[in-house]
Amino acid sequence: MKHLGVVFFCALFSFVSIESYAARGEFDFERWNAIQSSVRATAMADGISNATIDATLKNSVFIPRIVYNDKNQSEFKLTLRDYLSRTVNAERVRSGQNMARKYPTLLGKTETKYGVPRYVILAFWGMESNYGTVKKAYKLKDAFFTLMYDGRREKFFTNQLLALMKIADKNNLDINSIYGSWAGAMGHFQFIPTTLASYGADGNGDGKIDIINNISDAMFSAGNYLNKLGWRPDEKIVTRVLIPSDIDDDLINGDKKYPVSYWATLGVLNADGTPLAADDTVVGLVADTADTQASVYAISPDTDIDMTTVRIAYLTYPNFYRIKKWNNSNWYAIAIGELSGKLK
In tens, the pLDDT along 212-263 reads: 989 999 999 999 999 999 999 999 999 999 999 889 999 999 999 999 999 9
- C-beta of residue 59 within 8 angstroms of C-beta of residue 26: no
pLDDT one-digit tens code per residue, 58-99? 989 999 889 888 887 655 578 899 999 999 999 999 999 999
> Residue 35: which of 116, 194, 132, 144 has the closest Cα?
144
| 283 shares its domain with 157 | no
| 166 shares its domain with 293 | no
34 occurs within a structural domain = yes
101 occurs within a structural domain = no
pLDDT at 39: 97
| 142 shares its domain with 23 | yes
Contacts by 109-116, CB closer than 8 A, 24 or more apart: 109/203, 110/203, 110/219, 110/220, 110/222, 110/223, 111/223, 113/220, 113/223, 114/220, 114/223, 114/224, 114/226, 114/227, 114/231, 115/227, 115/231, 115/233, 116/222, 116/223, 116/226, 116/227, 116/231, 116/233
- Check whether 298 has a pLDDT greater than 70: no
* Per-residue pLDDT band at 303 (split at 50, 70, 90): low
* Distance from C-alpha of 333 to C-alpha of 324, rounded to nearest angstrom: 6
161 occurs within a structural domain = yes
Beta bridge partners of 7: 17, 61
pLDDT at 100: 98
| 55 shares its domain with 142 | yes
| 299 shares its domain with 169 | no
- For 262, residues 6+ apart whose C-beta sits below 8 A from its C-beta are none
Domain that holds residue 4: 1-62+138-180
* Distance from C-alpha of 122 to C-alpha of 99, rounded to nearest angstrom: 8
Domain boundary among 180, 195, 212: 180
- Check whether 308 has a pLDDT greater than 90: no
- Check whether 5 has a pLDDT greater than 50: no
| 163 shares its domain with 306 | no
Question: Mean per-residue pLDDT for 100-115?
Answer: 98
| 153 shares its domain with 285 | no
pLDDT at 137: 84
Q: How many domains does the chain have?
A: 2
* Distance from C-alpha of 92 to C-alpha of 145, rounded to nearest angstrom: 33
pLDDT at 246: 87
Within 131-275, residue ranges assigned H as helices are 140-150, 154-170, 193-199, 215-228, 260-265
* Distance from C-alpha of 303 to C-alpha of 67, rounded to nearest angstrom: 49
Q: Output the CA–CA distances (angstroms, integers) from residue 230 to 115, 127, 217, 280, 325, in the order listed.
A: 10, 20, 20, 21, 10
| 173 shares its domain with 285 | no
- Check whether 296 has a pLDDT greater than 90: no
| 157 shares its domain with 250 | no
Of the chain, the percentage scoring pLDDT greater than 90 comes to: 71
| 22 shares its domain with 154 | yes
89 occurs within a structural domain = no
* Distance from C-alpha of 278 to C-alpha of 203, rounded to nearest angstrom: 43
Count Cα atoms within 13 angstroms, Cβ side, for 217. Answer: 18
69 occurs within a structural domain = no
* Per-residue pLDDT band at 190 (split at 50, 70, 90): very high
* Distance from C-alpha of 149 to C-alpha of 6, rounded to nearest angstrom: 13
| 168 shares its domain with 279 | no
203 occurs within a structural domain = no
pLDDT at 78: 82
| 152 shares its domain with 258 | no
168 occurs within a structural domain = yes
294 occurs within a structural domain = yes
